C-alpha cells in the first residue's frame, strides 16, 4: 500500500522538565512522520511523554529543541499570537474530560471555535448544526453539559473539534473518563471521522481497545519512541 504524504513531520524533538534543580528528560530526539489521513495511536506507560508529544504537535507546548512541521508550517518557529491563530484553524482538540464550557449549551460550545473565524452568524449556525448531526446530537443542541451524559459530552467535544474542519484532530485519552459502552461509541465515531472524512487523527490512549482502531500505534517509553505492531502492544 502506498504511504500517504506526510502532514506532520517531527524532527529531533526533545523536551525536558525541571523539577527543582533536577532536569527530567521527557522526549529524547524524537523523529517521525504522520501521513495525511492516518490514524495514529500513541501508547506508553504514565510519564512516558505521550501527552507531552501530543501537546507539542497540537502547538500548546514548546519543545526544547527540534522542529514540528504541520502541513509544511514549522509551528515551533511561530510566535504565540500566530500559533494561537494556527491552532484555531488547523487543530481540533478532544480532551479526556471533554473540557466543555458549562455555562454554554451544546450548540454554543460547538460554535465557540467559529467565533474566531470571519463566518457570519447564519453560516456559523449551519456549521454547528452539521457538526452536531455528525455526532448524532442534533436533538440535544440546547442542552447544557451538565444535562448530558459523559458520552454525549464527549460527542459535543468532538463536534467542537471538527466544526472548523481542522487539518489534524488530537485526542488525549478520549475514552479515559467513559464507561465501556460510551467509550466504544466514541471510538466508533472517531474511527468514522477518519474513514469517512479522511481526518488525520493523533490519539493518546491507555486503552488497548481504543488503540485497535488506529492504523499505526507508536509506543513511547522513557522519552524514546518505538515502532511497534499493534499485536506487540495489544
Partner 1 sequence: MLLLKIFFKNALRHKLRTGLTVLAIAIAMLAFGLLRTVIDAWHAGVEASSASRLVTRNSISIIFPLPLSYKDKIRQVDGVDIVSYGNWFGGIYIDEKNFFANFAVEPRTYLELYPEYVLSTEVHNAFLRDRKSFIAGRKLAAKYGWRIGDVITLKGTIFPGNWEFVLRGIYRGRHSSTDENQFLFHWDYLNEMIKKTSPGRADQVGFYMIGAKNPNLAAQVALSVDRAFQNSLAETLTETEKAFQMGFVSMSEAIITAIQLVSFVVIVIILAVVANTMAMTGRERAAEYSTFKALGFRGRHIAALIFGESLTITMAGCAAGMIATFPAATAFAKAVGTFFPVFNVDADTLYLDIAFSLTVGLLAAVVPTYRSLKTGIANGLRTVE
Binding residues vs partner 1 (CB under 8 A)? 51-52, 55, 58, 60-61, 81, 84-89, 91, 93, 95, 97, 99, 101-104, 108, 111-113, 115-116, 160
Rounded-to-integer distance, Cα 180 and Cα 50, Å: 23
Q: State the minimum distance, in angstroms, from the CB of residue 150 to partner 1.
A: 15
Burial 177-214 (b: 16+ CB within 10 A, else e): bbeeebbbbbbebbbebbeeeebbbbbbbebeebbebb
Nearer to partner 1, 64 or 227 (CB): 64
| Least distance in angstroms from the C-beta of 231 to partner 1 | 32
C-alpha cell at 143: 442542552
Q: Which is nearer to partner 1, 160 or 199 (CB)?
A: 160
Among candidate residues 197, 205, 107, 195, the one with its CA nearest the CA of residue 159: 107
Closest CB to partner 1 among residues 4, 66? 66
CB of 58 to partner 1, least distance (A): 7
* Angle of CA points 190, 192, 198, to nearest 5°: 95
Q: How far is the CB of 194 from partner 1 (least distance, A)?
A: 21
Going by C-alpha positions, the residue among 53, 43, 26 that lies closest to residue 206 is 43
Q: Quick one: which of 201, 113, 102, 115 has its CA closest to 159?
A: 113
Q: State which residue, 88 or 228, has the beta carbon closest to partner 1.
A: 88
Minimum distance from CB of 162 to partner 1 (Å)? Answer: 13
CA distance 11 to 77: 13
Cα angle 75-77-83, degrees, rounded to a multiple of 5 = 50
Query: Closest approach of Cβ 216 to partner 1, in Å?
Result: 24
Would you say 46 or 231 has its CB closer to partner 1? 46
Rank residues 91 and 141 by Cβ distance to partner 1 and give the closer one.
91
Amino acid at each position: 500500500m502506498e504511504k500517504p504524504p506526510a502532514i506532520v513531520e517531527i524532527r529531533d524533538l526533545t523536551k525536558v522538565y525541571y523539577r527543582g534543580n533536577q532536569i527530567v528528560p521527557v522526549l529524547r530526539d524524537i523523529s517521525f512522520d504522520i501521513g495525511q489521513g492516518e490514524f495514529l495511536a500513541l501508547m506508553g506507560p504514565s510519564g512516558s511523554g505521550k501527552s507531552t508529544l501530543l501537546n507539542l504537535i497540537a502547538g500548546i507546548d514548546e519543545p526544547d529543541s527540534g522542529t514540528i512541521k504541520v502541513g509544511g508550517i514549522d509551528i515551533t518557529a511561530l510566535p504565540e499570537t500566530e500559533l494561537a491563530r494556527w491552532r484555531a484553524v488547523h487543530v481540533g482538540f478532544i480532551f479526556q474530560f471533554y473540557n466543555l464550557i458549562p455555562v454554554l449549551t451544546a450548540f454554543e460550545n460547538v460554535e465557540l471555535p467559529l467565533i474566531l473565524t470571519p463566518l457570519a452568524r447564519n453560516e456559523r449556525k449551519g456549521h454547528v448544526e452539521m457538526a452536531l448531526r455528525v455526532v448524532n446530537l442534533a436533538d440535544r443542541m440546547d442542552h447544557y453539559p451538565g444535562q448530558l451524559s459523559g458520552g454525549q459530552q464527549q460527542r459535543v467535544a468532538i463536534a467542537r473539534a471538527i466544526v472548523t474542519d481542522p487539518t489534524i484532530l488530537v485526542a488525549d485519552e478520549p475514552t479515559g473518563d467513559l464507561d465501556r459502552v460510551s467509550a466504544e461509541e466514541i471510538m466508533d465515531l472517531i474511527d468514522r471521522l477518519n474513514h469517512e472524512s479522511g481526518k488525520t487523527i493523533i490519539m493518546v490512549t491507555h486503552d488497548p481497545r481504543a488503540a485497535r482502531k488506529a492504523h499505526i500505534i507508536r509506543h513511547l517509553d522513557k522519552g524514546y519512541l518505538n515502532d511497534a505492531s499493534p499485536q506487540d502492544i495489544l
